[in-house]
Chains A and B, each alone.
Chain A
Amino acid sequence: EAQVTQNPRYLITVTGKKLTVTCSQNMNHEYMSWYRQDPGLGLRQIYYSMNVEVTDKGDVPEGYKVSRKEKRNFPLILESPSPNQTSLYFCASRSGTSKETQYFGPGTRLLVL
Chain B
Amino acid sequence: QKEVEQDPGPLSVPEGAIVSLNCTYSNSAFQYFMWYRQYSRKGPELLMYTYSSGNKEDGRFTAQVDKSSKYISLFIRDSQPSDSATYLCAMSETGGFKTIFGAGTRLFVKA
Contacts and interface: CB of A to CB of B under 8 A. Distances in A.
Contact of B97 (A4, A48, A104): A48
Nearest to B42: A106
B43 A105 contact: yes
Given A100-B46, A107-B43, A42 B98 contact: no
Contacts, number: 55
Interface string A70-113: 00000000000000000000101000000111111111000000
Q: Is the interface of A mostly helix, strand, loop or mixed?
A: strand
B103 A104 contact: no
Q: Range of interface residues on chain B?
A: 20 to 34
B60 to A, nearest CB: 20
Interface in B70-111: 88, 90, 92, 94, 97-104
Interface of A: 4, 31, 33, 35, 40-45, 48, 50, 56, 58-59, 90, 92, 99-107
